[in-house]
Chains A and B, each alone.
Chain A
Amino acid sequence: MDGFHDLGGVQGFGKVAHAIDTDSYKPVFHEDWEHLAYGLMFLGAAHLGKFSIDEVRHAVERIEFRQHAGTRYYERYVIASATLLVECGVITQEELDAALGAHFQLASPARSGGRPAITGRAPFEVGDRVVVRDEHVAGHIRAPGYVRGRQGVVLHRTTEKWPFPDAIGHGDTSAVHQPTYHVQFDVKDLWGDAADDGFVVVDLFESYLDKAPAGQAAGAPARPSRQPVAA
Chain B
Amino acid sequence: MSTHAAATATPTPGQRAWALFQVLKDKDLIPDGYLEGLTDMMAHQFDPANGARVVAKAWVDPAYRALLLRDGTAACAQFGYTGPQGEYIVALEDTPTLKNVIVCSLCSCTNWPVLGLPPEWYKSFEFRARLVREGRTVLRELGTALPDDVAVRVWDTSAETRYLVLPLRPAGTEGMAEEQLRALVTKDVLIGVALPRVA
Report A's interface with B, CB cutoff 8 A: 5-11, 13-21, 23, 25, 27-29, 31-40, 42-43, 47-48, 57, 60, 64, 66-67, 69-75, 78-79, 81-82, 85, 90-91, 95-96, 99-100, 102, 104-105, 142-144, 146, 156, 158, 160, 162, 165, 180, 182, 184, 187, 190-191, 195-205, 229
CA distance A7 to B144 in the complex (A): 23
Report the minimum CB–CB distance from A52 to chain B (whole Å): 12
* A5-B38 CB under 8 A given contacts A67-B9, A78-B17, A198-B154: no
- B161 & A158 in contact (Cβ 8 Å cutoff): yes
- A33 & B23 in contact (Cβ 8 Å cutoff): no
- A195 & B138 in contact (Cβ 8 Å cutoff): no
CA distance A21 to B198 in the complex (A): 13
| Neighbouring A residues of B20 by C-beta, 8 Å | 36, 40, 78, 81-82, 85, 96, 99
Report the minimum CB–CB distance from B143 to chain A (whole Å): 4
- B186 & A191 in contact (Cβ 8 Å cutoff): no
- A75 & B158 in contact (Cβ 8 Å cutoff): no
* A31-B14 CB under 8 A given contacts A8-B132, A16-B121, A191-B133: yes
- A8 & B105 in contact (Cβ 8 Å cutoff): yes
- A20 & B133 in contact (Cβ 8 Å cutoff): no
* A196-B17 CB under 8 A given contacts A13-B129, A28-B117, A64-B8: no
Q: Which 8 A-B pairs have the closest CB atoms?
A: A8-B105, A18-B121, A75-B13, A100-B19, A33-B17, A99-B19, A198-B152, A20-B194
Contact of B124 among A8, A16, A79, A180 (CB under 8 A): A16
| Neighbouring B residues of A82 by C-beta, 8 Å | 16, 20
CA distance A60 to B35 in the complex (A): 21
CA distance A78 to B188 in the complex (A): 27
Contact of A67 among B5, B35, B90, B125 (CB under 8 A): B5
Report B's interface with A, CB cutoff 8 A: 3-5, 8-11, 13-24, 26-27, 29-31, 34-35, 38-39, 42-44, 48, 84, 88, 90, 98, 105-108, 116-117, 119-121, 123-130, 132-138, 141-144, 151-161, 186-188, 193-194, 197
Report the minimum CB–CB distance from A167 to chain B (whole Å): 14
CA distance A230 to B105 in the complex (A): 23
| Neighbouring A residues of B3 by C-beta, 8 Å | 66
Contact of B13 among A11, A25, A74, A144 (CB under 8 A): A74
Report the minimum CB–CB distance from B131 to chain A (whole Å): 8
- B107 & A5 in contact (Cβ 8 Å cutoff): yes
